[in-house]
Structures are given as C-alpha cells and as structure tokens.
Chains A and B, each alone.
Chain A
Amino acid sequence: MTTLAPSSFLRSSRSRNVIPGFGITMGFSLLYITFLFLIPVGGLLLFTMTQSWDQFWRAISHPQVVASYRLSFGASLIGATINLVFGLLVSWVLVRYQFPFKRLVDALIDLPFALPTAVAGIALVTLYASTGWVGQYFHVYGIRIAYTQIGVVIALTYIGLPFVVRTVQPVLEDLESELEEASAALGASRLTTIRRVILPALMPALLTGYALAFARALGEYGSVVFISGNLPYLTEITPLLIVAKAEQYDYQGAAAIGTVMLLAAFVMLLVINGLQWWSTRRFSH
C-alpha cells in the first residue's frame, strides 16, 4: 500500500481503456526518446550554457553569423514559398487531372526524400553550373545559378519539395466535391470558389507542409555545400558555419549557433502543431 500513488496511476490509465499495452509501449517510447533525443539535446544545451552569456552572444551575433542567418532563413523561406506554390499546383494536378505517366510522376515526388543529399548536391551543381545542362543557357544571359544565392534556393527547394505535396495531397483527395458544387450553385465563379472555399480548406495542410519544408531547409547541409559558393557574408549558410567553427576547434561557438538553430526548429514545430491544434479544434467535428 506504500506504493499506492504510482500503482493507482497505472491502474487509472488502464481502467479507462480495455486495449492493452499502454505501459509497455509508452515506456519503451519514452525510454527511446529520452536516450536518443532528450539526453543528447539536453547535453548540447548544457554545453552551450557552460560559456558566459557574453561569449554566447558574441558567437551568435557576429556579423558573419548574422549574414548566414539571413541567407539560411531567407533562402529557406523562398524555397518553402516556391514549394508552397508549386507543391499546391503539383498536388492539384496529381489529384484532379488525368495525364500520361501520372502514377510515375506521383511516385517520383518522394525522390528528394530518398536521394542522399550529397548526391542531390552534386547532381544539382552538374545541372546548374554555368557549364551545366541547364546553367549554360542562363549563362548566355549572364545569369549565374550555381555558387550564388539562387543556387542555395534551388537546393533548398529541391529537398523540401515533397513536404507540401505530401501534406496537401491527401487533404485535397478527401475534399468533398460537394463544397465546390455548393459554391458554384451559389453563383461563385471558379476562381472565387478556389480562393474562398478550396484554399481555406487546404490552408492547414499548406501551412504544415510549408513549415516542414522550411524547417528542413533551415538545417540542410549536404546538398547546399556543393551548389552554394560558401562565400562568407554572401553565400555561406549557417550549418556550414557551424561546421567551420567546429573544424577550428571552436565547439562553444558551434554549439551556440547550433542552439539558435535548434530553438528556431523548435519554434517552427510549435507553430505547426499549434496551427493544427487550432484548426482541428475549430473546424472539425
């Protein structure tokens, strides 16, 4: 009876539900998350805290670092935005229209998830360098893609591509056609229907996909180092700077910037989950 508190806690969670296995599955999950995730990440935060605030602030606010934030956040935002627009378009086309090789195209969407980022980087630079398959045509007009900020945006667009498509697609598939018909019957033009009925219905999915693509782009390293010029203040992304700091034995600086990235990611996810919570609470039965 001395162990009343914990045992009654376990009992109460079981008594609500006849489905077995809560204790063991929850236990294993927590254990796994704790060891693989919480302890290491906690370690990083603790390590960051071993330095003084001044040191920390200097590391994360150096102009070169700030410039890299600007590029990383900016290019990730642009990449995610491109993915928002084209991801929506692609999922629309895949769900609504018929065309040859549709299944193949659909399957290929996952490629950026599957292709190693280093390979992607090498392939992209092969394409977009001024001697590359595509880059040469831009080169004629004096436009450089690889080794510029455009190159960074392209790499980040590439790796984030599946997120928007794969979050929007199922929602679009489930969207009742009756909603559109109701709108049309009420006199709305097709464009109005898309703007006022379809887009709002897709909005939570779009935002989720957008945030995921953005968060993923923010941390991307492998594909970007190949295609960006890595010029400090210009084309140097934050993860590269973290690596560079570490290579110079400056782990504290690296950890400080890493912590900033970590917090940014955390905020992103809070926003995503918050949005989802908000929209399900509000709009679904």
Chain B
Amino acid sequence: QTVNLLNVSYDPTRELYREYNEWFAQQWRDEHGQSVNIRQSHGGSGSQARSVIDGLDADVVTLALAYDVDALRQRADLIPADWQERLPGNSSPYTSTIVLLVRAGNPKNIQDWDDLVRDDVQVITPNPKTSGGARWNYLAAWGYALEEYGSEEAAFEFVEKVFANVPVLDPAARGATNTFVQRGIGDVFISWENEAFLAVEQLGRGQFEIVVPSVSILAEPPVTVVDANVDRKGTRAVAEAYLEGLYTDDAQRLAGKHFYRPSNPDIAAEFSDQFPDVNFFGIDDVFGGWDKAQNDHFNDGGHFDTILENIARNR
C-alpha cells in the first residue's frame, strides 16, 4: 500500500521539491518496496507554519527560517525543543543567502547595500511580517549596516532608508519576484539567492544580473519532522528517511541544481563555479538567534513597525 506524506514548505522551494520528491519516492520504493506519495504545500513561510499549527496534517515542514519552525513547538507543541539538533547543520540540509537582482546591464549601477538607500533607486522586497525570505533580507541589510557603520542606530536608519525606497510590499517571496520580473517594477530586488538564479536562468535570460553584496547573511532554511503528526499517522519512519535523504549526495546535487547551496562541503565544491564567494555572517552571531531577532525586529512594536511608522510620517 501507499504511504502518504505531506511536506509543507515555503514558496521558492517548489521546483526543488518537485524533483526531490520523485527521487525519494523512487528510492523508497527500491529500498522498501513501498510506494510513497508525497504531497506538497507551498506558500509564505509564516502562513504555512500557521496552517500546520492550526491543524494542517504535515509530516514534515521545510520552511524558510527556524523561527517559523520553532513556532510549531511554542504554539502547538508539535515538535520537541531539541528539534534543531536532530539533523546535521542545524537541520538545514541546504543554505542560501540574500543577493541583489538588478536589470540587465545594471543601469542604476548598483554594487552593494549602500546603493539601496540612494534616492533614485527603487527596491523590491516582500513584507518581513509575512514572508520568511523578507526577514532574511531585512536582517542581511541590518547586519551589513551594523558592520559598516558600527551602531544599532545607524543600522536602524539604514534599513529605514532601504524600506523607504520600497514601492510594493508583496506578502510572499514569489509575489515579489513576479512584481520585479513580470511587472518591471523597481531597480533592485533583494532576493533569495536561489530565486535570483531562477530569474536569471529561466524567467528572463539576459534580462537580469545578480549583484553579490560585500557581506550577506547565511540563510539556513531548516527542516523537521512534525512529531505529533507522524506519530499519530504512523509515518515517522518514512518522514525521517525523507529528511535524511536530503543529505545524500544525490539530493545535495539536486539542491545545487536548484541554486541552493549544498550543506555537504564536497558537493558544494562541485558547484563552486555557480555560487560566488560571499562574506557571510550568521544570525546567531549578529542577532542572538531567531527568537531575539523576531522579538526585537518583527513582532508588534518591534523595529520594523517603528520603521514603517517613520516612513509613513516622512512621506
């Protein structure tokens, strides 16, 4: 008989998991003689976590950031506290970063984060309140400014200026990509690296260029089994195998193919041509972990709300 597995994921992983699911199903059948049917759900990372908390029957979640996954524990006790220790690399089988996507020939001559605060530049990013990717965007910019200008105040001011240049704030990463790519709005799109590649390689060959900023954040999209659900459904084995499979060489290559940075250094090396070197900083180092970051920046009354208020006041 068939096992059903539900993978609740965030927006930009669609293409990756479509291919990985096929690979895994094949693998599982070969090894266990059992067919597995993997169902996918995609959306903004936060909204997906919310659905799982409210009862969406996910066996595994593969979200954009640890905070959203941790919400499954904090709000519904679906996973144990040590969930992030269960798999290598903070449970992130692949990583990514935030880059800048500009139009072909880089007409606005955008080279680094500093160019995003120029008056003549329009910036596209989704809304950090609802999009996981956007929170990485925000934190990347903040981290850059903190390093460059040395103070929290300066970083605040910098990020405020960036968001003051944002004309459209889509709820999720994919909407923002569409806005920049399809509708031609904005001069620079702060984007997941993988989304940026997708745009350059597939959506509009020759129409876009990737600009790698001097520093950026190391984005670790984590994965986990949803213990409460798999135990109830009796799918733990296959669910765990599904996630562990992500660390196999084949899967790591798939991740690379879909422009995620493989966590396995050997496989990563195979893709070194594809991924430029970036000066990374990590969320734990700069922001003291996701909980604190979320609390300081994104929760109601956090820095981001103040930034929005300031922008509205100055407009």
Contacts and interface: CB of A to CB of B under 8 A. Distances in A.
Interface in A80-136: 125, 129-132
B300 A250 contact: yes
A244 B184 contact: no
Contact of A244 (B75, B127, B179, B315): B127
Q: Is the interface of B mostly helix, strand, loop or mixed?
A: loop
Given A229-B169, A231-B168, A247-B46, A64 B75 contact: no
Interface stretch (B220-228, B280-288, B306-314): B306-314
Contacts of B46: 247-248
Nearest to B166: A231
B6 interface: no
A56 B127 CA distance: 24
A249 B75 contact: yes
Interface string B136-169: 0000000000000000000000000000001111
Instruction: Using C-beta atoms within 8 Å of the partner chain, give the interface range for chain B.
Output: 20 to 34
A248 B127 CA distance: 12
A67 interface: yes
Contacts of B190: none
B183 interface: yes
Contacts of B11: none
A234 B183 contact: no
B69 interface: no
Contacts of B305: 64
A154 B309 CA distance: 27
Contact of A147 (B75, B129, B168): B168
B44 interface: yes
Contacts of A64: 305, 308-309, 312
A247 B50 contact: yes
A232 B183 contact: no
17 contacts: A63-B309, A64-B305, A130-B184, A131-B183, A131-B184, A132-B183, A230-B168, A231-B166, A233-B308, A236-B169, A243-B171, A244-B127, A246-B50, A247-B47, A248-B300, A249-B75, A250-B300
Interface of A: 62-64, 67, 125, 129-132, 146-147, 225, 229-234, 236, 240, 243-244, 246-250, 253
